[in-house]
Amino acid sequence: MATRIAVVTIFPEMVMAVVRYGVTARAVQRGLLDIGCWNPRDYTRDRHRRVDDRPYGGGPGMVMMYEPVGAAMTAARDAVVGESHTIHLSPQGRRIDQEDIRRFVQGPSLVMLCGRYEGVDERLLETEVDEEISVGDYVLSGGELAAMVVIDAMARLIPGALGHQASANADSFSNGLLDWPHFTRPESVADQKVPEVLLSGDHGAIRRWRMKQSLGRTWERRPDLLRSRKLDSEEQMLLGEYVNERAAPAGDPAVIGERSK
């Protein structure tokens, strides 16, 4: 059954742009992913179709009103037959990672609430939202771009959404390590050469080189990722080699933790 996502937003055209390009577009075309938008403006009852009002307690900006947003959420939930999980995209949410994306893909239909202005009436979050999530520690002007980030990350994990070659790649991305370096023709750009091993045709050596690069770059750039990942004996050996081969001036601040002499 297709992965279903219902987005509650006052800017549906913005969100639907994500399904016009690339992997997400293909997933929708192939019937693997179904995305629909529900606009709170269509659930207003007043002449002016108001979705925002002034904040109690005063201050600048506007707050999204309980009634039209709640009605749009109810319609969204009713449309996605069966169970649903409702998330709100906000800087106050817990920062999500690849594991959360995997959980969303495997879980029930997703209802995404996108706030605008200064945010939505808190009572909606209390009664209508299961989980508040953030895609990074910065403030946007609304939840839509964050929802699009989550949709894009989900689409590439849906079985059949990526080509054969690429799905193997997706596995290596999801193994908790950074990617290895990539090269294509020409072999030489000025004095920059493609690493010899990649031209050798020795598939075992190439696999080990890539794994070593992945481990080494993760160690250098994102040591936090390594701390929460167990290394098997081959991985430990390859990382050890990388660390030993790396020119390491005494007191180099990039060198942290378990560095072998």
Per the annotation, the verdict on 91 as an active-site residue is yes
Instruction: Spell out the residues 6+ positions from residue 249 whose beta carbon is closer than 8 angstroms to its own.
Output: none
Per the annotation, the verdict on 232 as an active-site residue is no
Catalytic residue, chosen from 171, 191, 196, 224, is: 171
DSSP state of 47: T
Q: Which is nearer to ligand 9WO, 107 or 136 (CB)?
A: 136
Q: What is d(CA 98, CA 23) in angstroms, rounded to the nearest whole number?
A: 17
Query: Quick check: 81 and 44 in contact, CB under 8 A?
Result: no
Per the annotation, the verdict on 94 as an active-site residue is no
DSSP letters for 96-153:
P-HHHHHHHHHSSEEEEEE--TT-B-HHHHHHH-SEEEESSSS--SSSHHHHHHHHHH
Determine the residue with CB nearest ligand 9WO: 115
The stretch among 83-91, 165-173, 183-191, 242-250 that binds ligand 9WO (CB under 6 A) is: 83-91
Rule CB under 6 A: choose which of 3, 24, 86, 90 binds ligand 9WO.
90
Contact letters for ligand 9WO, residues 34-73 (x by CB under 6 A): ---------------------------x------------
Q: What is d(CA 35, CA 147) in angstroms, rounded to the nearest whole number?
A: 11
Per the annotation, the verdict on 30 as an active-site residue is no
Which residues are designated catalytic? 91, 118, 156, 171
Residues that bind ligand 9WO in the complex, under the rule CB under 6 A? 61, 89-91, 115, 118-119, 134-136, 139-140, 142-143, 146
